[in-house]
Structures are given as C-alpha cells and as structure tokens.
Chain A
Amino acid sequence: MSALLPVASTAEVRRYARDLFRRHPRALGVTVGLHALAAVAGLVGPRLLGELVESIQHGRGVSTVDRLAALIAGFVVLQAVLIRFAYLASARLGERVLAGLREEFVERVLALPLSTVERAGSGDLLTRTTRDVDALSRCVRLAVPETMIAMIVGILVVAAMFAVTPVLALPLLVAVPILVPGTRWYLKRAPEAYLKQNATYSTVTDGLAETVEGARTVDALRRQRQRTERTDTDLHRSYLAERATLFLRTVWFPIVELSWVLPVVATLLVGGALYLRGTVTLGQLTAAVVYAQMLVDPVDRLLSWLDELQVGAASLARLLGVAEGEAEPRAGAVPVPAGTGIEVRGLRFAYVAGREVLHGIDLTLTPGERLAIVGPSGAGKSTLGRLLAGVHQPTAGTITVGGVSLDDLPLDRLRAEVALVSQEHHVFIGTVRDNVAMVRPGAGEHEVRTALAAVNALDWALTLPAGLDTEVGAGGHSLSSAQAQQIALARLVLADPHTLVLDEATSLLDPRAARDLERSLAAVLHGRTVVAIAHRLFSAHDADRVAVVEDGRITELGSHDDLVAANGSYAALWRSWHGERTPAERIPAGGDGERTTAGGDAERTPAGGDAQRITAGGNAEPAIAGADRAD
C-alpha cells in the first residue's frame, strides 16, 4: 500500500556500530579491561584447585592446603570486585551509546521531509520509533555486554588451558565441526522465523483486544461465532509459526548440548592418556578438565545472545535507514526574502506521479489580505494550502515569498514566513503551557496567556485542574477536539509568521464559537496575510477575497460581493446557505460540539499516509489524526 522507509545495509550498520564505539575509546577500553581482569581472576581458582589436589596427593601439610584455600578465596573476592566495576563501566557506556543513538534518531525524524513520512506512512515510522528503539535498547543493555563478556571469558579460558598445557587445549576443538555448521544453519533461519512468530502473536493480541474493546459491537451484530473462529485461526497461525521455530531448536539444541560434553570427554581421554604416560601431571589434568567444563558457560551465553544481536542489528538498520534518501542540507548562503508577498506561478502538484491534483494555479497574495478558499470536496483546497505553507514541494511551477522559492528556505526560516494550522489537532504530551510555547522557545507567561486569550481559550485553560500547568496529551487530562483546535491556533498566534494558512482550523468548534474565535483571531492577526480554507461561508463572507477552487483550478477569484454579483458557482453556493434548503446544496447541520469532522468539503488529510488512495477516493472526508472514531 505504501512504500516503506529505507533500511540501511549490513555494511552501513557495521560501520556505524564501529564508529559508535570508536567515539568512546577510553570507556570501551576500561570496560573490556575490567571484564578481562575479572575473567583472569576467575580462572586462577581452578588453577589453584589443581595445585590443591596435587598437594593432597603429595601429602603436603595442612598449612599448604589452608594457604591455597585462602589464596583461592582472595581471588574470588578480587573477581567479584572487578565484576562489579566492569559491569558498571559497561552499563555506563551502553546507556551513553543508547541515549546518543535514540536522540540522533529522533533528530533525524524531526528533520524528515513530510512528504517522505507521508509516502511511507506514519505507521512504519512509529514502529521504528517505538519497537526498534526498544529492541535496540534490549540489545545494547543485555546482548552486547553478555556476548562481549562471553567472548572475553571464552578466549581467556582457552588461553589458560594453553598456559597449563598447550597439548590439553587441543581436545577442545572436537566440538567445532558440529557446533559451527549447526549454529550457522540455525542463525541463518532463526531471525526470520522468530520475526514471523512474533508477528502472529501481535495478530492474536490485537484480535483479542478488538474483541474485548468492541464487545458491544460483537454483541450488537451477533458476531460471537466469527470472533471465536477468527481467534482460533489466529492461534493456529501462531501454532504453525511456533512449530517452525521449534523445528530449528530441535536440530540446534542437541548440537549445542553435545558440544558441551564432547570437549570434556576428549580432554579426559587425551589428558588421562598423557597422565598415564607421565607427560602431564595430575594437577594439569584436573585443571584442564575443569577448564573444559568452564567453557560451557561462556559458549552457552554467546550462543543464546546471538539471535538477540541479530535482532538488534536489524533494528539498528531500520533506525539508520530513516536518514537515507533525505535531502542533503542545502549548502551556501540562506537566501533572504525581500518582502512578505507570496506569488504562485503555474503550480502543479501530484501526490502520485500521473495523478495530478492541482493543474496550474496562479495566485498573488497581497501582504495583509485575508483570502478565503472555498470549493467542493476533493477539489484540491487542502493540497493548495499545504503547498502554500511549504509542506510539499510543487511538482511543477513555483511558490515564492519575497522573491525566494519556499523550497530554498530552511525549515526554521520557512516557519518564520508561513505557518499552517490544519483541522488535524494533536495535543503533545506536556502542559498546556508547553503545548503553546513550543513554537517559540523562551516565550514568557504573558505571551502564552495573550495567545490563549486571542483564541478564546484562556478562560477554560485556567479552569483546568492545574491551570496552564495541567498535563495534557496522551495519558494526561483529555481535551475536547474543539479545545485542541484552539490550542493549535494559540500556537500559531505565538509563532506569529507573516502569512498563515488555516485549513478548516475552526471546523471542530460549534458555529457560533467558531465565528467568535475567527473574529477575535482576526483582530490579533491584523496586518498578517491569512489564507483560510473554509466550508462555512461566513468565513468567506468576512474575507477580503474569495478563491473558488474546483477540480484543481481556481475558477473564481474576487471579493465576496463581486463573486455574488458574477452569479457563478460561488453565488449559487452562497444562496444555498442562506436561501431555501434544497437537499443537494444544503450545508451541514454542523457543530453541535460532537462531530469531530464537521467535514463539509475539505478534501483530504491522509491519516496513515495513504495519499494515493484517499486522493483517488475523491470526496473522502478529512481524517483527524488522534481521533479514531467519528465522535
């Protein structure tokens, strides 16, 4: 349905991971060093145990035994202390790397061109932001240090065996011929199989959630049987996926278990034979056998974290992929617009190649004027508004502000020129104050209050449980859609650009409140250029000029009175509002505060980035992000 965001290649992931650790060479060195020292301390014990055994065999005194035991104890304590600090060091490093990673990722997301996000759908981005960041966290917190420790310990155990008697290290190799190919076989298949398995569980969980949350619907439509059947089908799919992964484990687990015992057997046989011949001492034999058994733990750890590492690498690839295909920051000096007038010339636009939505629009906005854009559903009004705000780039033609193309302005500069408020209202997690002040860092209390007052929102905002400090957004105090829309407008007032595009920005308020708000807003925005896309004709009536957009073109342009006098389609629309109520031309009964989409004729705001589909749909209603249902 939609093209997903790119995924970074394996080579890029490797390079990035390497660079990441190279950025913290000291911390990495300390971590590895501490773990290595701890492992060495851990290896001394068995070595001394061998000596202990020999001293008994040779009938040395109690004092030797006591001395050796005390020595072993000393090393245990040393090992414990080292482990504590090694662990802490690796956690510090891991958390630092992790924080850097996710912050960098979020910065990239924030800098993504909106068109990219809409093409890919916010679902994919959301998955990466949540699931992949979480998966990577798990990987960096657990899998990376565990495998690192396992590798250090494993290498040191083998080294210790070489130190005891090099010849006794050789039997260890017997496990390699089965362990290596077996593990390769498993790892080649495991990640995909487990991903598939997890996906089936999401389906089960989601299916259960919708049955429970939609219990009334199930009841009303008597869908109980369908829901149980659906559940059982989903479960069966999970079962099949589980069976597939179980097969992989059925092959791999015995290989792993055998590869633990084989080296011990080989060490016993070879070492025993050598001891019988007098080539090695009993102490060396004992130590070698103990070392061979000690190898089980690091190998086991290493193997059990390998697939987590793979998952982490896959997540990292998806996180890094977000930055790909992103336009390089424009080099050179930032052009400075001369003036605030906006010129649109020969503007054409298509969300999908070949399906043009706007077919050549020319428009000149005089600074300070209020232009209303009206027209039927799907005519391209919202698209025009978004292009005017620089959200999308024209397919052909130009939009300039003060002679400079909107495309050439960096984002923060662009926002100082033009801002857009759509009917899409999103309340961010944070306080009411945060929600308004976010567009202007450092805005004072007075400015926030003034902005809220300008959109008639200060009164209700002050009556919230903690006034402007009330936490709102997901998980906080919930605001009505009308209130959310007022917050969005308050942001705009505070941002104070010279040109504003309002796309059905008051559609969720009831008509009387909307008109009051628009009037109070007009007073605050005096001198600013305002482009208002509206389905309520009073907005058009109050504007300086009205543009009628039909089928991707401006068909009528002029003052309200001129257009009414011209007796075109605007005049007909106007009469249908105020004249007799004939069904086909009737305006919506509108805004009893309940409807979230007072819809009228706004053509589109794709919810999940399904631009193609909704545009093709023609008269689709506006989708309100964050609102799942119609009311």
Chain B
Amino acid sequence: MRQLPDAEPGTPDGRSATHYLVWLVRRFRSTVFPAIGLAILWMLCQAVVPAIVGKAIDAAVRHDGDGLFTWSMVLLAVGAGQAYFGVARHRFAVVNFLGAMFVTVQVTVRQAGRLGSALSRRIDTGEVVAIGTADIRAVGAALDITARGTGSLIAVVVVTVILLTTSVPLGLVVLVGVPVLMAVVGLLIKPLHHRQQLTREQQGRLTARAADLVGGLRVLRGVGGEAVTAERYRAESQALRSAGVRTAGVESLLEAAQVLLPGIFLVLVTWLGARFALGGHITVGQLVSFYAYAAFLVAPLRQLTEALDKLTRGHVASRRVVGLLDAVTDLPDPSSPRPADQLAGDLADPQSGVVVRCGEITAIVAAEPADAARIADRLGRYAEGGVSAGVPLDEFALATVRRRVLVADNDARLFTGPLRADLDPGGSGRLPAALHAAAATDIVEALPDGLDSEVAERGRTFSGGQQQRLRLVRALVADPPALILVEPTSAVDAHTEARIADRLATTRPGRTTVICTSSPLVLDRTDRVCYVEAGRVVADGSHHDLLATEPRYARTVLREDQS
C-alpha cells in the first residue's frame, strides 16, 4: 500500500470543482486506474455467475454429468476470482479515498496558512472548518467511487450484450425496464432524503440540548431546575421520536417499493421467458439465467446511482475547497517590497497619532478599548495605516513585518499538543525566563506532566487567567523586536498582575514593547503612555504626569467605585 500522505500536496487546479476532482484523479492515477481495472474484473465475475449457473443446470437437464462438474468448477473459479479482484480493488480504492482526503486536508491547511489573518475576513471560517469534517470524506468518496462506478457501468453493458444475444425481445425488456425501475426508486428517494434531513436536524437539536444540560449541570446543582430541564429534554426527545416514525413511514414505502418494483419486473421477465421457452426460442437454463440477470442488474445499477450521488456530493464539497483556494489575502505583498533592513525605527500610527519609540515600553490607554485594538492592528499590519520611520508598512512584505512586529491579543489561540510545543516550538531556550516574566511557572508546575502535558482544545482546561498568562509566555518566547500586547493582564488577579507588570518592565531590555491596557499597575511600569479618545491621542506622557494633568485619563484608569 502506498505511503500517505505525500510530503507535498502539489498545486491544485482550483479553476472549478470539476477541475479540482480531475486534478485529484490525475494526481492519483497510479492507483485510480488499477482500481478501475480491478473493479471491472470484479463486476464481470459477478455478471457471469448467472450464466454459469444456467449452463450447469442445462448440463444437468441434458444429463451431462461432466458438463455439470465442469461448469460448477468454473463457477468456483469465478467465485475465487471475484474474491481476489474484490479485495484488490478495495485496497486500491482505499488509497484513492485516503489520498484524495489527505491532499484536501493538506491543501486546506496550507491555504489557511497563506491567508493568515485575512482568512476570517475573506471567507466564512465555519465553511472552511466544515471542509475538515464532512467535505474531505465527500471528496475521498468521489475518488473511491470512480472504480466501482466504472465497473458497474461495464457490468451493465456486458449483461445487456449477453441478454441481447440470447433473446433480442427479452433483452430489450430488461434493458429498458431496469433503468426505468431505478428511476422510479430514485424519485421515491428524494422525499425520503428530505425527511431524513429533518430528522437529523431534530437529532442535532436534541444533542445540543443534552450538551447544554451537561454544560449547565453545575448551575443546575446550585439553584435547582433539574425537573424542568428534564421535562424539556423529554419533550424534545418525544418530538424526535415522532419525527423518526414519520421518516420511517416514508422509508417503509421505499423499502416496499424496492421489493415490489423489481419483483414485478422479475415476474414479467420470467413470464415472458417462460412463454419463449414454451415456444422453444430459449432453453430452460437460459430462462433461469434470464431471471438471475434481471435480478443481478439491480446491484450494479444501485452502485451506479451511488456513484452519481457520491460524485455529486464530492463536487459540492470540492466547490467549498475551490472557494477557499480562490480566496486571496486583503493584505497583499507589494510588487517590489522594500528590503527588510529598512524596517527599523519608530513605529507609528498616523491615523491616531500614536508613536512608538524604539526600545521603550509604550502604553496605549483608550477610553474605548476597541480603539486600542484597532491601533495595534495597524501597527502590526493587520490593517492599513501603520508606518515605520515614516515608511508605510505595506511597502514591506507581510512576512518581513511579521518577523519584526508581533501583535499578541486575547483572541490568540492556544494550540493542542504538548504545552512546550505551543509555547516554544523552536526550542529557543527562552522559555524559563518567559514563564517567570508572565508569572506562569506555577501553572506549569501544577500540570501532571509539566511542559509535556497535553493542551486541550483552545486550552479549555486552563482558566481564563491561566490562558492569558500562557499566551503572554508564548509571545515573550517569540521575542520579536517589537511586541504589541493587547490587554495582556485583563483576566488575572491583582497580585499576579502586579508581578507581571514588574517583570515585563525588565524582561525585554532595549526592545520595543507596546501594551494596550488601562490597568494603573501596568501603566505605572511603562516609559510613556498615549491616551486615546475617539481614536485620537489626546495626551501623552508618563503615567504619573497624566494622572496629575489629565482628568479624563485619571477617570479612565481609576474607574473603581470609590464610595
């Protein structure tokens, strides 16, 4: 079995969903085509079984013992062949399925990396996440079905030929009848899918309610309300039950139709065949095999329907992938970016008037905290407007700016995996100092495996304050020339905040640090404070000077209720 995933997925053809699927087929042609070949052989083995059984019975009717034995052995050989081709086909098909799925994941992750902060602005994040859940399977299944789909098509053709050479009128009946049958059953499936969808949604709601109930269990334990909650759950559960029964109503009709339609059709074929046999047009053995073929054809035709369905779903899923591939960043690199060494000197945001001096700790206090976040975005080139030594930041390559300026905010995501890998992926050696500076040493000490402990999704098992300190550690380990911290201590208690403020002041000597905060304790440890109102700097100076001279500033930072 081919090793997967490949080191590089290659450049996908993102012109359209169809192009993407074709690209995948081409990319995995070394397994797609063998799978198709094997599927054809596998299907053919199944297709000839009725003919062989017919031959064997004919031999019996002729009292030809040797013939009976020979045809039985042929049947055995064909059965063995079917088993072999079947599993060989399956092995290739699995590679196709996995290959397409894996490449799609790789392509998605790489594109997400390329888009970076622009991703959420350019495309619905939920849509992209959905690629990772359902779509990759749909794309994989589309590639997987190419083999069985082709095999089924060939089988249908071969059986048709066999039937037509045996008896043209009877063959025509089968040839026309079976697709008509499939179409009728297909028509019935539509309302069923609709019903099933409704039931699934209902099931989803019920699951959400159960999850909600588990999530709120502590609250319930505090004030009660278990009875009402249980009652509500029961009501929705009963609603789901009714929906399930209604769906089963449609489903049962379909089940009945799937027996009735082919059954009646088989009777028709047999009856006609019997009359032909009576007339001596066909043999008894041929009659039996006609019966068997008409019954057999249902299987490959079902697979063909399945193939159509899977290809359609794969196409829909690929559309989403292509949508992601199509997305382009709204922070493009300039056509001829300035060299990285020109990115030096004071950072500034002319729009607000904030100037960040090199090597200093600058605080930004905004009456509206969102203003500070917007300024941070401009200084870090997450939005247009920042300058460095008078040169607009968008004249540099984005990567250059990212290397020099790190904006660390509270939306930053903690990644799953060992804690060490998230905090210090490069093994920089700065981790102990950063843990100390962020007063996070105790968090690590309390973990069962210290820095090797696994981080849960979004760092959920850490409290809000712990998450915040770990984010700070990560930013300090990254050690960029300019670090912009947005509300780095908003969720930690006063004692810890005091410690962090003290240590931050000394942990980055000679480096540029910007802190957006309104905590007097942190402000007290900064070199200079810019006070922003309505998006503009209205005063700047040291914390103590501003406290003394700017009453609006004093009100903003000392806003506790003084009674």
Contact = CB atoms under 8 A, between A and B. Distances in A.
A72 interface: yes
B200 to A, nearest CB: 10
A126 to B, nearest CB: 5
Contacts of B226: 110-111, 411-412
Question: Counting chain A CB atoms within 10 Å of each CB, which of B71, B117, B490 scores highest?
Answer: B490
Interface string A305-349: 000000000000000000000000000000000000000000000
Contact of A250 (B87, B443, B447, B524): B87
A228 B493 contact: no
Contacts of B347: none
B442 A617 contact: yes
B284 A57 contact: yes
A129 B215 CA distance: 11
Nearest to B484: A220
B435 interface: no
B464 A596 contact: yes
A56 to B, nearest CB: 5
16 contacts: A57-B284, A80-B257, A87-B252, A102-B210, A114-B217, A122-B217, A224-B116, A250-B90, A391-B222, A412-B226, A438-B229, A491-B225, A596-B491, A614-B463, A617-B446, A630-B465
Interface string A590-614: 1010111101110001011010011
A134 B521 contact: no
Given A276-B60, A438-B229, A587-B560, A205 B494 contact: no
B463 A235 contact: no
A194 interface: no
A227 to B, nearest CB: 6
Nearest to A386: B222
B171 interface: no
A293 B50 CA distance: 10
Given A221-B406, A227-B109, A597 B207 contact: no
Interface stretch (A21-29, A282-290, A558-566): A282-290
B260 interface: yes
Interface in A222-237: 222-224, 226-228, 230-232, 235-236
B267 interface: yes
Nearest to B225: A438
A246 B1 contact: yes
B540 interface: no
Interface stretch (A45-53, A156-164, A398-406, A453-461): A45-53
A251 B539 CA distance: 77
Interface size for chain A: under 10, 10 to 19, 20 to 34, or 35 or more residues?
35 or more
A219 to B, nearest CB: 3
A220 B116 CA distance: 8
Interface string B294-337: 00000000000000000000000000000000000000000000
Contacts of A49: 270, 291
A45 B251 CA distance: 24
A206 B221 contact: no
A243 B94 CA distance: 9
A260 B119 contact: no
A210 B263 contact: no
A84 B255 contact: yes
B364 interface: no
User: Taking chain B's interface residues, is the majority helix, strand, or loop, or is none over half, making it mixed?
Assistant: helix
A216 B478 CA distance: 15
B466 A91 contact: no
Nearest to B247: A91
A223 B466 contact: no
Interface in B79-93: 79-80, 82-84, 86-87, 90-91
Interface size for chain B: under 10, 10 to 19, 20 to 34, or 35 or more residues?
35 or more
Contacts of A69: 267, 270-271, 274
Interface string A544-579: 000000000000000000000000000000000010
A126 B306 CA distance: 35
Contacts of B209: 429
B57 to A, nearest CB: 6
Interface in B376-427: 380, 382, 399, 402-403, 406-408, 410-413, 415-417, 421, 425
A548 to B, nearest CB: 16
Contact of A85 (B86, B252, B292): B252
Contacts of A80: 256-257, 259-260, 263
A293 B56 CA distance: 14
Given A422-B218, A589-B518, 8 more contacts: A76-B266, A91-B244, A103-B234, A106-B234, A129-B207, A265-B76, A286-B57, A620-B463
A250 B73 CA distance: 24
B35 interface: no
A87 B68 contact: no
Nearest to A289: B53
A76 B214 contact: no
A77 B402 CA distance: 72
Nearest to B520: A589
B256 A583 contact: no
B560 A419 contact: no
B490 A91 contact: no
Contacts of B415: 210, 214, 217, 223
A445 interface: no
A269 B60 CA distance: 10
Question: Counting chain A CB atoms within 10 Å of each CB, which of B56, B232, B465 scores highest?
Answer: B465
B106 A217 contact: no
B380 A220 contact: yes
User: Taking chain A's interface residues, is the majority helix, strand, or loop, or is none over half, making it mixed?
Assistant: helix
Contact of B63 (A55, A130, A276): A276
A53 B288 contact: yes
Contacts of A77: 260, 263-264
A434 B71 CA distance: 74
Interface in A411-444: 411-412, 415, 419-422, 424-426, 428-430, 434, 437-439, 441
A99 interface: yes
A421 B223 contact: yes
B307 to A, nearest CB: 19
Interface string B249-288: 1011101110110011011001100110110000010011
B390 to A, nearest CB: 24
B112 interface: yes
B360 interface: no
Nearest to B231: A441
Contact of A621 (B69, B125, B291, B493): B493
A272 B55 CA distance: 12
Given A205-B132, A607-B461, A53 B287 contact: yes
Contacts of A428: 212-213, 216, 229
A475 B212 CA distance: 11
Contact of B466 (A541, A584, A600, A621): A621
A590 B493 CA distance: 10
Given A208-B108, A222-B403, A426-B219, A630 B468 contact: yes
Nearest to A112: B217
Contacts of B212: 428-429, 473-474
A76 B265 CA distance: 10
A204 interface: yes
A95 B91 contact: no
Contacts of B559: 510-511, 589-590, 592
A596 B410 CA distance: 12
Contact of A98 (B241, B407, B497): B241
Given A122-B214, A215-B120, A630-B465, A91 B251 contact: yes
Nearest to B199: A141
Contact of A515 (B79, B465, B561): B561
Contacts of A421: 222-223
A425 B222 CA distance: 11
B131 interface: yes
Contacts of A587: 494, 560
Given A80-B259, A110-B220, A261 B75 contact: yes
B240 interface: yes
B255 A204 contact: no
Contacts of B184: none
